[in-house]
Structure 1
Amino acid sequence: MFSAFRKWRRRRAASRMQVPPEQWNRVEARLPFLAYLPPDELPTLRQMALEFLAEKEVHGAEGLVVTDDMLLSIALQACLPVLHIGLDAYAGWIGIVVYPGDFVIPRSIVDEDGVVHEYDDEVLGEAWEGGPVILSWSEDTGAVDGINVVIHEFAHKLDMGNGEVDGFPALPPDMSPEAWAAAFQPAYDDFCQRVDDGEDTALDPYGADHPSEFFAVMSEAFFETPGLLRHEYPDVYTQLSRYYRQEPATREGQPGSGE
């Protein structure tokens, strides 16, 4: 009952938002990977983006003024992974904080001798379980280069959906956890070995940091450089295609696809 009411409320709020076609076009032109969507799915993504903004609260940090174009850009990128999953995958939290560029998060770790080490970690984004998504913003945010901080952090939110941030999100009933593991574990092991060997990998080496980061980095690649991911790790691409219920590689490089 509460889920249905939440959907009704955000749809009603979204219906009050008016976005001129030229503004949609301007924002989407800076997100060329959206052209990998079938054309008939773009209106659905736009509607979902408005419902997303009706439900979330976006705040600028360190004096950053979040413009309407920035709001639309963040919403479109955040909604792309859940286009066929649904916005309820992002339920349970409302805050998004946007910094003007990289930001620093104080960290502390305890070594094997019990000594606490404190340090400042400069990051592009952070997703907190049950809490906000924190993003950095620059003029290049969303440009196709295989790295997308918005998709990365929202992939972490999906990963958190079953309680553990381990690169193993809650799968739909028609997907096999065994098949997921059989695709991701060997690929992760191979990728870590390649990074450890000093290879200049085409995919972001940050994916070797942890299985959760591998899932997030592969999700970035799935939407931004799907052909590359399908070439590097075809089984991972197949599992992500089934999970996200999208096939971006089939349109990459086609006329009008932004390539």
Structure 2
Amino acid sequence: MAFNSQSGDVATRSTIDSFLRTPPNGVRPAPPELWGFGGLHGGLAIAAMVDAMAASAEPTGQTGAGAQRLRSVTGRLHRAVREPFSVAAQTDAATRSTRSASARLFPSADEQPAAQTAPVAPLASATSLFGSDSPAPAPAFAPPFPDVPAWHAGGLFNPPPSFVPVSEFYELRVTGTNRPFAGGTDPSLTAWVRLTEDDQPPGQLRLLFLVDALAPSISAVLDTPQPVPTIELSVQFSGNRAVSPWVLVDARTAASGPDGWVTETIQVWGEDRAHLASATQLRLVRPLPAP
């Protein structure tokens, strides 16, 4: 079964909610209000592919969204997604406890040139692993919860929609003193984040968006806004579930160099301090366009 978002009335859904509710085999829009830096927000593009990969189990009789939950996903964004698109997904291998799937995101047929003869290159691709719980649980370990105040004590700090259009649909409350493009010395950002469309705890599709909701952590040591797009995002889920709409996202630059490539690590916790997900993100600092 598909990993659809929480239920709600059609007339009151936000744009993100409507996007996540598109049937996995349907054509999804990529409206400018859902863009991050120059194209569809990366977390939403990967969520669309996860939804299709979850649904790909149905023809084989494996309804893995219940017994086999999403455990990890790695998505690669090859080009900016700016037009309506569809997703092709398949199950690659299945065992009694795991299922591996892959997906590719293509421009919809209406967006392709009429005289197209060569294979259409995907705009993005992803692989995922779904798995059931083990009867022999491992000892419990998790990243320690940071020493930060509760969400209501954080400072409201949302990027302007003119710079990051999709920021209109979430609330971000920062902790500490680091800010994007403030020329600091510590390449990290920590903030409480929630979607503003309702008060539901985020499911896995929404969580994929929230994992990637902060500005690039490297931006905390840059003094000029510039593009730092996501090239690859890998997310591993702990199996815990969020208990409220608020999640704490801690993003830190683990490595960067003069070639422009940035490796970022991300941890996410719920309001009850339960660890929800770990992620690694590969970014590329791009030069500012010539004036």
Give the TM-score category using the shorter length.
Answer: under 0.3
Identify the structure with the greater helix proportion: 1
Identify the structure with the greater strand proportion: 2
TM-score (norm 2): 0.24
TM-score (norm 1): 0.26
